[in-house]
Structure 1
Amino acid sequence: MDPLAPLIDALHAQGRLRVWSLVVTVMGDAVQPRGGRIAAARLQDLLGRIGVEPGALRTALSRLVADGWLIRERNGRTSHYRLSEQGQAEYGPAAEAIYAAPKAEPECWTIALGDDVGGISLGGGLWLVAGNVPAEAALAVSGALKVGAGMRETLCHPDRLAALERLAADLDVLDAARLGPQDAIAARTMLIHRWRRIVLRHGDLPDAVLPARLTGLRSRVGAAYHALLSASEHWLETGDAPLPAADTGLADRFAVNPVA
């Protein structure tokens, strides 16, 4: 049985795959730390393992070049792609959120009244905010937080809840120890792609307001990422059109205590 089948099936089960977004994930996660440039054929080798057809990849690359995200460089008959300055400017701040270390649970929570205060909407202009009183609040009360099991389901927006459930399911079936280099880079790409979309669309929620089955996901993602790292990096630096050596920052991703 294909060890990646559950992950691939889950990725494609959400509707038509946005290949251009998957390319951005690969460029930011795996290519940028290795000099920032990848051959089109090499990219197809990776994404083909995930079920992306060559025509779909060509269309996505053309779109990203036209939109200013990627730059195409020709070397004879070979095309290489790299993030443009615009693409790097967009992905850089996103990477800080994607690869941040797990945060300590807030000691203080605030229920605030106001317009678009931020945090978790409780309805009627009330917001639940992790931390102290936000400046935008017209009225606020701060203190410790206790959330019952039923309320945790209510606080998590259905779209966010569904996205977290899908991520948890992927982590449940992922067995990094069984994967060779190509499968490892494919699994890493799918994992970070799903996580990237969650973080950028929904942000992080502290464990205190998540259902118990969904707590600690950032730590689980980080552990899975590092379990895949060695084999996936081996695929990138070997074979046809290998990428240059990676910078030293990969070990610091998701790390609570980054290496100095």
Structure 2
Amino acid sequence: MPSATLEGKISPSVARLRRGLVMRANSVLITIYGDAIAPRRQSVWLGSLISLAEPFGISSRLVRTSAFRLTADDWFSATRIGRRSYYGLSDVGLLRVRHADRRIYEFNLPTWDGRWTLVLLEAGMRASMRQHLKRELLWESFGQLSPGIFAHPHVDHQSLQEILRAAKAEGHVAVLSAQSLDDYGRKPLQALMHDTFKLAKVEQAWQQFITRFAPAVALLDSLTQAEAFFLRTLLIHEYRRVLLRDPNLPAALLPDDWPGLRARELCELLYRKLLVGSEQFLVAHMETTDGPLSKTPREISRRLTSA
């Protein structure tokens, strides 16, 4: 499919939703792979990626450069067939997007039991291991209370164990469970969490998300398949960007009328309406090492069974 074809199928009213956003090539490709490619375990032709990326303002040169860099950073694995290059997620890249998926597509918040998970890093840990763990824990939305102490109220222990195992850090990290005592007020804890997780900036980001995507509800009935893909990718790209900065704190620790709850509901509504059309577009227009992209796998359809 020529790269200009998809861009020409995006109407001005839909394209307007991208206005003002900085869409970096690496990040957009990770969004596309995490949302649509990872569940299929397929490697996609570079030409297909170039076509998909153009409506987001990303040139073919940037797609090629980003695919090369993501391969070097162990996000992608590359395959060459004749003169064509194909890119799939590496084992490390697949693990990373799976961790993010557990948060992105879990639209129903779990009930908090009042406990916190604390991760304590050994003081004598190698600097490279410490930096790696810090990056991965922050990606999982842990809050850093001090240089060697991280906290989270809704930790996914499977993800945490995978992070420690991948870093070969099991013998250098202590994982504890903590709970607030009823005899002590929660106000200091609320203040600490507000500062640790920079909630003011997260709140502002959620408000901006709602302002941008709320008008898209009125467009749903008139979207083409190409526009459904474009909007789905844009939606998840921005939702992921904010969500991975949001610690997913319990209601008791959040400001009143927290916009993250409204943003979650809006994202679920839009994603439900966009999924069928966008999947039809992807299957019809993406080429992989196995031929066409496989039909919607159960792993994607299951994302919307929780509500």
- Same topology, TM > 0.5: yes
- In the alignment, the residues of structure 2 paired with residue 71 and residue 256 of structure 1 have an alpha-carbon distance, to the nearest angstrom, of 32
Task: Give 1:225's aligned residue.
Answer: 271
Report the count of equivalent residues.
Answer: 232
Hey, what's the Cα distance between the residues in 2 that align with 1:66 and 1:184? 31
Distance, in Å, in 2 between the alignment partners of 1:173 and 1:54 is 30
1:5 to 15, 18, 31: 15
Q: How does 1:1-260 map to 2 (within 5 A)?
A: 2-12=12-22, 17-103=23-109, 106=112, 135-136=177-178, 140-141=181-182, 157-174=199-216, 175-206=219-250, 209-210=254-255, 212=257, 214=259, 215-239=261-285, 241=287, 242-256=292-306
Q: Which amino acid aligns with 2:207?
A: E
Question: Which is richer in helix?
Answer: 2
Three-state SS of the structure 2 residue aligned to 1:182 is helix
Q: Which runs of 5+ in 2 are unaligned?
A: 1-10, 121-141, 146-150, 155-175, 188-193
Instruction: Write the deviation string for residues 212-246 of structure 1: whole angstroms up to 9, x where unpaired.
Output: 37233222211111110011001111136231222
| Equivalent residue letter for 1:80 | Y
Q: CA RMSD in A?
A: 3.4
* Structure 1: distance between partners of 2:110 and 2:25: 35
Q: Secondary structure at the match of 1:183?
A: helix
d(CA) in 2 for partners of 1:129, 1:61: 35
Aligned with 1:92: secondary structure? helix
Instruction: In structure 2, give the amino acid aligned to 1:3.
Output: S
From the superposition, tell whether residues 182 and 204 of structure 1 become closer, same or farther in structure 2 (CA, over 3 Å). Answer: same
Higher mean displacement: 196-205 or 41-50: 196-205
Identity of aligned residues (%): 26
Query: How far does the alpha carbon of each residue in 1:69-102 deviate from its partner, in whole angstroms, 9 at most, with x for none?
Result: 1011122222111000111111112211111131
- 1:186 partner letter: F
Amino acid corresponding to residue 99 of structure 2 in structure 1: P
Note the residue ranges of structure 1 that are not aligned, 5 or more in a row: 122-126, 147-152
Per the alignment, do residues 72 and 6 of structure 1 end up closer, same or farther by CA in structure 2, a change over 3 Å counting? same
Amino acid at match of 1:5: A
Kindly state the Cα deviation for residue 202 of structure 1 after the two structures are TM-superposed.
2.0
